Chains A and B, each alone.
Chain A
Amino acid sequence: MSDAYAVRDNILTHHFSDGSGCIFFDPMDNSMVAATKPVEELLNKEKSESDEQHCHIINTLLIHKMITKL
């Protein structure tokens, strides 16, 4: 995960063996969010305000409470 974002401590994360991406699971409300490989790559970049796609994805994940901004 990048310097800008981190998975919350109690979130379970699984990276699939085929390299297609990862899945986040929040045991607090049993919600689940998938991040396909391009998303993972974006998460591993520094956030860029001009990167609308990046912001949209991060926002989506934030809505699902999986990611905490550091």
Chain B
Amino acid sequence: MCRRIYGDRFTHSIQPSEFIDFRIGIKYPNFTRRFLKPQVQFSSEGLVPFTPLPADYAFAMLEWGMNWTVAMYEFQRVIIHSAVLAKDDYAILLPAPPGSGKSTATAYLENNGWRLLSDEMALITKNTTQVTPFVRPICLKNASIDLCKQMFSHGTFSETAYKTHKGDVAHMSPQRHSIEEQSTPANIVGIVFPQYSKDILLDIYPMDKTSAMVKFSENSFNFNFLGQQSFETNVHLIENTRQFELHYSDLSEVNAFLNEEFCK
């Protein structure tokens, strides 16, 4: 599964001289659980942070575990729960709670001219507007799985993990152009809070900076740990970007708005 989703980026062997950021793994918790109602558990730097899950969830658990590991150990950057997409050097953050259509919008935009920097977390250099790519598969849930399979028949999808605590979950590989630029940071110019609503026309609400600061900071993973550094970085971002709330049902309208507003 890893080879299918990660393609060339997946490797079976690491040379001793190569630097490794984190040592993580997925394995059976014990001999019995390899055969009897098989389960797997995730480990990160020797810690087992989650209870074991059915073996069918192995790939999803690996992805969640990688997110957890970065959220727990990355202290050099401010981390925001947000999708990140860019054109040229212009990056847009899409912070949003589950159910807002963030991942579907991310998949659509990546397949319509934007490059994916992350579907899950924005890694922002302190006191700057620079965001570092964290190019990983897009996590699709429930109805968006079939929707994306219809829209992107050329895409590469993982097996679906059914009835997880997040619902049905499948991952979609990032596109080649995003992977090729996975080492190229971008400059955040906009923060857009998306909300999908069925059968509505695109509603665009420019936000005042005070409200945007509060809403944006609610999506911070490590605000409590970084404290003042995170506060100052968030203020810097809010002051140097434009913020909108977006209610949408048609993703092509979202794409047109983002192009018009941020890529001129």
Interface set of A (CB-CB < 8 Å, partner B): 12, 14, 16-18, 20-23, 25, 27, 30, 32, 34-37
Contacts and interface: CB of A to CB of B under 8 A. Distances in A.
Interface residues of B, number: 16
A34 B213 contact: yes
Nearest to B223: A30
Question: Which of B210, B223, B231, B235 gathers the greatest number of chain A CB atoms within 10 Å?
Answer: B210
Nearest to B224: A30
A35 B214 CA distance: 10
Interface of B: 208-211, 213-214, 217, 223-224, 227-228, 231-232, 235, 238-239
Query: Chain B: interface secondary structure?
Result: helix
User: Which secondary structure characterizes the binding site on chain A?
Assistant: strand
Given A16-B238, A20-B210, A25-B231, 4 more contacts: A20-B209, A21-B208, A21-B210, A32-B214
A23 B228 contact: no
Contact of B211 (A14, A17, A22, A34): A34
Contacts of B209: 16-18, 20-21
B211 A36 contact: yes
A50 B239 CA distance: 36
Closest CB pairs A-B (n = 3): A20-B208, A21-B210, A16-B209
